[in-house]
């Protein structure tokens, strides 16, 4: 069971008129917890702050979030911390109240029980039918409007399929339901641009920074299904899983992990800050 703090108090229920429920009016972050400490804290907080600026939600004091996260994560050897920040309670109607008081919801969960071979030897993935809509105003944000991901993740039951890739409505490959995607071809690293849809993952940024530091050529742009078919390596990233090589997608086998994937996975693992 989850341990939960709502605005700093142990609780597990929230005002039904909270705009997070009524409109998905809020943001979230999902962090890996190791040895009692949330990983990549600064990067997650920076993304939350960026989301707050874009949605016009007041960012809570970082010290307060850090304190609350610390209380929940103390003694947790391996787990997941989820931070949800909503615009807070409000009456009926889309208009944000002038005096909105954001709701902070922090919860810790046990670490997911993914088989260790997912990270070591790769995963099988599929292509989802559900497409990502295009909306530059919300692109990149980890906001609470996640019906597209819910519908995509509902498409398959097979336990040996670890992730589904989503295209946008124009057929560009964008990301997994819960992860970002990277492709390697001829020694170059490529990841879909996220200016029109998708989530700008913290682990994605971490991998991109690492590639830059190592002098690996990196391109952020449009990727089509034909590009995936021609790729030497594919891998998926998020803050909880780290890096998962893709060993099979859409009837095609890939080296898993390929050499560049292995190098980047080792680097982000070592640099986990």
Q: Tell me which residues touch its own copies (CB under 8 A).
A: 2, 4, 6, 11-25, 28, 30, 55-56, 80, 82, 84, 86-87, 91-96, 105, 107, 109, 112, 130-138, 143-154, 169, 177-178, 197
**Could you give the CA distance from residue 19 to residue 101 in angstroms, rounded to a whole number?**
11
Smallest distance, Å, CB 40 to its own copies? 18
Smallest distance, Å, CB 220 to its own copies? 20
Q: How far is CA 228 from CA 11, 37, 70, 133, 185, in A?
A: 45, 36, 41, 21, 9
- Which of 162/184 has CB closer to its own copies? 162
- Which of 84/260 has CB closer to its own copies? 84
Smallest distance, Å, CB 240 to its own copies? 9
Q: Where is 110: in which H helix or E strand?
A: strand 103-110
Annotated catalytic residue, options 30, 103, 177, 237: 30
- Which of 127/134 has CB closer to its own copies? 134
Six-digit token string for 157 = 């039951």
Residue 175 appears among annotated catalytic residues: yes
Smallest distance, Å, CB 37 to its own copies? 19
Closest CA to 32 of 211, 236, 237, 180: 237
- Which of 40/184 has CB closer to its own copies? 40
- Which of 170/253 has CB closer to its own copies? 170
Smallest distance, Å, CB 246 to its own copies? 19
Annotated catalytic residue, options 68, 86, 130, 142: 142
Q: How far is CA 269 from CA 39, 170, 186, 193, 273, in A?
A: 11, 35, 24, 24, 9
Annotated catalytic residue, options 29, 68, 163, 175: 175
Residue 142 appears among annotated catalytic residues: yes
Q: Centre a 10 Å sphere on the Cβ of residue 158 and count the other Cβ atoms it contains.
A: 8
How far is it between the farthest Cα atoms of the chain? Answer: 55
Residue 68 appears among annotated catalytic residues: no
**Could you give the CA distance from residue 28 to residue 222 in angstroms, rounded to a whole number?**
26
Q: Which residue has the tokens 């850090």?
A: 66
Q: Which residue has the tokens 């339901």?
A: 177
Q: Do residues 218 and 208 touch, judged by C-beta distance below 8 A? A: yes
Question: Could you give the residue numbers annotated as active site?
Answer: 30, 142, 175
């Amino acid at each position: 069971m989850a341990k939960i703090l709502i605005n700093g108090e142990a609780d597990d229920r929230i005002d039904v008129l909270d705009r997070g429920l009524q409109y998905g009016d809020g943001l979230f972050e999902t962090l890996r917890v190791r040895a009692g400490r949330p990983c990549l804290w600064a990067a997650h907080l920076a993304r939350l702050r960026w989301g707050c600026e874009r949605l016009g939600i007041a960012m809570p004091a970082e010290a307060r979030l850090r304190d609350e996260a610390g209380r929940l994560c103390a003694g947790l050897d391996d787990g997941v911390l989820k931070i949800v920040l909503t615009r807070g309670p409000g009456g009926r109607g889309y208009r944000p109240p002038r005096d909105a008081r954001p709701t902070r919801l922090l919860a810790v969960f046990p670490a997911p029980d993914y088989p260790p071979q997912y990270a070591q030897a790769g995963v099988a993935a599929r292509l989802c039918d559900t497409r990502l809509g295009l909306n530059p105003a919300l692109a990149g944000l980890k906001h609470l409007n996640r019906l597209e991901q819910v519908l995509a993740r509902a498409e398959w039951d097979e336990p040996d399929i670890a992730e589904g890739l989503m295209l946008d409505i124009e057929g560009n490959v964008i990301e997994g339901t819960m992860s970002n995607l990277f492709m390697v071809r001829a020694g170059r690293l490529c990841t879909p641009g996220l200016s029109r849809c998708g989530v700008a993952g913290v682990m994605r940024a971490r991998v991109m920074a690492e590639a830059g530091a190592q002098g690996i050529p990196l391109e952020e742009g449009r990727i089509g299904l034909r590009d995936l078919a021609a790729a030497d390596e594919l891998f998926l990233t998020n803050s909880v899983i780290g890096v998962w090589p893709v060993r099979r997608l859409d009837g095609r086998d890939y080296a898993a992990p390929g050499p560049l994937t292995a190098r980047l996975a080792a680097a982000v693992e070592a640099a986990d800050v």
